Structure 1
Amino acid sequence: MSLDYFQSVIIPMLQGAITTLFLFFIAIILSIPLGFLLTLSVRSRFKPLALLAQAYIYVMRGTPLLLQLLVICFGLPMIPGIGQYLVLDRFVAACLGFILNYAAYFAEIFRGGLLAIDKGQYEASQVLGLNRWQMTTRIILPQMFRIALPAVTNESVTLVKDTALLYAVAVPELLHFAETAVNRDFTIMPYFYAGLIYLIITFVLSMFFKWLEQKVKYE
């Protein structure tokens, strides 16, 4: 393949990668705090709230992300009476789907992190005279974050790869431009270029989280 052809293919793919990264950052920034709120809801003493949060997590983790995206993008507008008010921009709808889906996964990760904290930590906090807020913010949450960070890293890498599902709801992202080039030029090379871009993104992301793990390890 000539350099000119490589440039003609890679430039649109890099533009698609911007959409991929934009979705990733929106989803990760919003799904993590939402997931933590779900974790608190599951542990709530108010049983209806806890049951509702558990049901939400079960449904979102038990059904395919692609199905959820299709429902939000194409299914909601078909609801009689209110469907016309639920028509969303495809990218916005995709962001909503990713946020709602990954919040459920992060909720389970954070719940596991909380369960892994030794009960002695709670008892020690009470002995030190810390109130519930101080115990949570100074003792429990930092330890939960350290425990959960490797799983958050894995889930974040998975999120990058799952952005390829945007192709199914007609959002022009990285894979869309690779597929377009393959069909147009009858060559498999654009798939390799797309794979390389994904590898670069996930490598940078993994290095960031490894740095973060080392940083919080010694704090």
Structure 2
Amino acid sequence: MTPKNAVVARHRIIVVDDHPLFRKGVIQMLSQEPDLEVRAEAEDSRTALDLMRRTPIDLAIVDIGLHGSTNGIELTKSIKAEHPKLPVLVLSMHDESLYAQRALRAGASGYLMKREALDSVISAVRSVLEGDIYVSPMMSKRMIAEHVGASGHTESPVEKLTDRELEVLQLIGEGNEVRGIAEKLHVSAKTVEAHRAHIKEKLSFSNAREVARFAVQWVDSQR
């Protein structure tokens, strides 16, 4: 039994999300737990990595869509490269059927959609801190079924894309031109055009206009 005046060890957390209101809401919710403490917050990958180099952290909670050139999947890879033992929980508005396994492959220990109940966030945080993998029950069943080869799941064409190609598709769907995408990703316009060509080939489109039309529809479906 814990003595009444004993100091409870607190897990130190960084929250990385580019939506200020949502970020503040998550921080407020976590701060109500006696054993959780938000030590840092950021809206982009560069700031997050800089803070994590200077601040002891036990868990990173990361959104997929972030300000700047690096999304949450790429940030997760960078975090695991610098802090291999640090657990990462991805908390995102994006459909888990497309992004959960990408996040786990990048090194995340869990994936939770923002539309889940707030109680699920605390459960996910505690699960990941204990060293477990956290995904929704539905996603867990799907992953197990796929592992044993009996999922019955029809793969979305978008699942064929690499993480970077998916990011380019997202940016196209948000109305960005090639030059603008190149600036956001800090790559050349030719590199973006190459990614777009791969997207066109993998999704069996005839031209860039068809890619753009599909990208807009796909982005709308994710909202």
Does the alignment reach a TM-score above 0.5? no
Q: TM-score, normalised by structure 1?
A: 0.26
TM superposition score normalised by structure 2 = 0.25
Structure with more of its chain in strand, by fraction: 2
| Structure number having the greater helix percentage | 1
